[in-house]
Amino acid sequence: MLGNILSMVGYVERIAFLLTFLFLLLCIFRKFRIFAGTAIVYCSYILGIGLWVHSFFNTYSVFGIMGVIIGIFLAGVGVFVTGLISLLWIHKYSMFFGFVATGIFIFGMRYAGIYIATKEEERRYMESSVIDEEEFQSI
């Protein structure tokens, strides 16, 4: 059962990862920037949930249910931290650095998506609120 869950999570993560690059390509066109930026943020949440699930199962396999409970009591995000500790505990350094790199990538994606969407929204607002020179002269 554990293998089925992890394979399904991995499949969804791969789809979200590929969609991220598709949405980055859509950012070339101004018309799609708000949509693409928002979609990148959603993809980052999907990848974040996948990373949390992998951390959960790593913690459970090394430290058991006590490690998971401790991780959940650390604001829920602590399962990621206990997952990292469990990887260090069993000397899986490459997986440890992979989890850290994935976490950094996820937050980078999230902030990039927010930046893309808000900048385009600001640009559209500024274009719509520009006063014509003739209107300005009459004021």
Q: What pLDDT sits at residue 94?
A: 95
Domain that holds residue 7: 2-138
CA distance 106 to 40: 10
* CA dihedral sign of residues 90, 93, 97, 102: negative
Q: What pLDDT sits at residue 124?
A: 87
| Domains of the chain: total | 1
Return the residue matching tokens 């979200």: 16
pLDDT tens digit at each of 139 positions of the chain: 667 888 899 999 999 999 999 999 999 999 999 999 999 999 999 999 999 999 999 999 999 999 899 888 886 678 999 999 999 999 999 999 999 999 999 999 999 999 999 999 988 888 877 655 555 566 5
Q: What pLDDT sits at residue 136?
A: 55
Helix (H, G, I), strand (E, B) or coil at 90: coil
Which helix (H) or strand (E) element contains residue 17? helix 2-26
Q: What pLDDT sits at residue 103?
A: 94
**Pair of tokens at residue 133:** 């020179």
